[in-house]
Amino acid sequence: MLSSYLPILILFAVAAVVVGAAVGLGTLFGPRRPTPRKQSTYESGMTPIGPAQRRFPIKFYLVAVLFILFDVEIIFLFPWAVLLRDAGVGGWFLLGEMLVFVIILLVGYVYAWKKGALTWE
């Protein structure tokens, strides 16, 4: 049974050797002419102002996590819509399940909204 995985193991080994060879040859034969301008921090062509490690407000992370959470949950609607078309008689059950899912999603959205998680100040 393990012999069926041998081609995948060989593929990973060959990929590791090719990547290692490319990085090694680039390091070995690549040009090295460090200058102060090349060693400086690049900030999209602008001169860096202040420390490099600024603190972001927690709201940034909270909005980002909520966006990912609701986005991933909404993705579940697409396979459901495909299955609902071909469900036939069982379509009412699928419709009820999705209605419960959307209500739970809506309750979570309203909760986050009422807590002020979506307001940016």
Q: What is the 3-state secondary structure (H, E, C) of 47-92?
A: CCCCCCCCCCCHHHHHHHHHHHHHHHHHHCHHHHHHHHHCCHHHHH
Q: When comparing pLDDT for 121 and 24, which is higher?
A: 24
Question: Does any domain span residue 6?
Answer: no
The band of 52, judged by pLDDT with boundaries at 50, 70 and 90, is: low
pLDDT band at 9 (very low <50, low <70, confident <90, very high): very high
Rounded to an integer, what distance in angstroms lies between the CA atom of residue 23 and that of residue 17? 10
Number of structural domains the chain divides into: 1
Selection from 67, 71, 72, 76 nearest residue 101 by Cα: 76
**Phi and psi of 43, rounded to 5°?**
-120, 60
Range of the domain at 91: 58-114
Residue 116 confidence class, pLDDT cut points 50, 70, 90: confident
* 48: in domain: no
* Share of residues in the chain with pLDDT > 70 (%): 94
Q: Residue 40: its pLDDT value, please?
A: 76
**Does residue 32 fall inside a structural domain?**
no
